[in-house]
A and B are shown apart, each in its own frame.
Chain A
Amino acid sequence: MIADERVTREQVLRAAVLAGDESAWQALYDETFEALYGYVLWRSGGRKDRADEVVQECWLTAVRRIRRFDPQRGRFLDWLRGIAANLVRNQLRRESKRRSREVLSDSRSPGSATDGSPLEDLERGSRIALALAALPERQEAVLRAKYLEGRSVAEIVAAWNQTPKAIESLLARARDEFRALYVGSAGDEERARDPAALGWQLQRQPRREP
């Protein structure tokens, strides 16, 4: 769809939704639900529980704030993704604070599973989500285009109107940054909570007694 057509169409739908037209809302909803859910699941590191919560909150926020959506500035899906990204970030922040409290009270169960059990999956999902949330927006976007949307470098070059070298360079930097954040969040608990590595403002915890 040509950009102008897309803008016009979304403007018409937005106006209809503001007037209370349910079918216009359903048209927007059906067009973007799957893509948004896939994005949120990806940003949540594959954690469905987290993704469901964020998707719910995202749609409720969108219907209440539809007036703020401007089709001239971007697609409806991009606007939803922006809301979802903020919600994921807030969720991770809350989870980090809860973990800090758990460490302080030493209430966590002794010994995390390391054999691929669901707990390990949850931990890995959290690490993925944290690493993606800590990336600069442009790096996150190129990783999303490459790994979630499955685009080739040539397609990204065409869509972003950049040179192939620029995209390859950005992709390489994004991978390295993600790898560093993801690997860096594994290992002992203090490294996992290091504000310098993950960009979170957390209180440093005292080392445990051996």
Chain B
Amino acid sequence: MNAPHEPGRDLVETVLGPHGGGPENAGLRAALLRRTTGILRRRRRLRWLGAAAALLTCYLAGAATAETWWPWRPLTPAAAHKEGATVGEPTSVAGTQDSTEAKPGREAPLPEGVGPPPATAKASPFEVRRRAGDRFLREPAQLALAVRSYTNALRVASVEERAISPERDSWLLMALKESRLKERNHGNLDH
């Protein structure tokens, strides 16, 4: 648009025309880029450190909670020795059993609290294994070991001990005894 000449127009156009930036600001540009990316880098590092610190805090909180509230502890050799072991029934962390008796199948390790029978007690081999099975049955997720202990108990049980005893036997032991009885009766019938 061509507007008529005004005295002031020249002043405004003169004064407000663009000022060349030129190559003089190249140094400023590079230096500023370095400074600003440095700030980004520091911020990123701080964020990672913060996340790591948060994770560490959560881990420590969980460990502290476990120490305070969780009653179960895995058996260590020192703890097992302190608790005591049944004669002929070596105890240690599960999975490393060596029975001194030549029996088919490995003996399950004795649970915590099942110590060797007192010298004056006359606990039979069946009784020891039965008690072991009872303790495994009370522990969470130890059902397989309870079954193994009871099975081993029944293998060495006398005729009286093989009889079902609702007052003393757990539900699992009673089921196993009943199952063995049926097998025996079935076998007798076949013969």
Chain A contact residues, CB within 8 Å of chain B:
17, 19-20, 22, 25-26, 29, 33-34, 37-38, 41-42, 45-46, 48, 52, 55-56, 59-60, 62-64, 124, 128, 143, 147-148, 150, 152-154, 168, 175-176, 178-179, 182-183
Complex interface: chain A residues within 8 A of B21 (CB): 34, 37-38, 41
Cα(A34)–Cα(B25), bound, Å: 9
Expressed in whole angstroms, the minimum distance between the Cβ of B23 and any Cβ of chain A is 11
Contacts of B35 in A (CB 8 A): 59-60
Residues of A with C-beta under 8 A to B17: 147
Cβ of B138 within 8 Å of any chain A Cβ, yes or no, is no
* Residue in chain B with minimal CB distance to A128: B15
Whether A42 touches B37, Cβ cut-off 8 Å, given contacts A55-B28, A153-B1, is no
Q: B29 touching A179 by the CB < 8 A rule?
A: no
For B43, the chain A residues whose CB sits under 8 A away are 20
- Known contacts A29-B36, A42-B16, A128-B16; 13 additional CB pairs below 8 A are A20-B41, A25-B37, A37-B21, A38-B19, A41-B19, A41-B21, A60-B36, A60-B39, A63-B39, A178-B16, A179-B11, A182-B11, A183-B11
A-B contact pairs, 24 of them (CB 8 A): A20-B43, A22-B41, A25-B37, A25-B40, A29-B33, A33-B29, A34-B21, A37-B21, A38-B21, A42-B18, A55-B25, A55-B28, A56-B28, A56-B32, A60-B35, A60-B36, A60-B39, A143-B12, A143-B16, A147-B13, A147-B17, A154-B1, A175-B9, A179-B12
Report the contact-size class of chain B (Cβ under 8 Å from the partner). Answer: 20 to 34
By beta carbon, the residue of chain A nearest B35 is A60
Residue-wise interface mask of B (155-176) relative to A, using a CB-CB cutoff of 8 A (1 in contact, 0 not):
0000000000000000000000
CA distance A17 to B33 in the complex (A): 14
- Complex: A152 Cα to B1 Cα, angstroms: 8
CA distance A178 to B36 in the complex (A): 35
Interface on chain B toward A: helix, strand, loop, or mixed SS?
A: helix
Given the contacts A41-B21, A46-B19, A59 and B32 also touching, CB distance less than 8 Å: yes
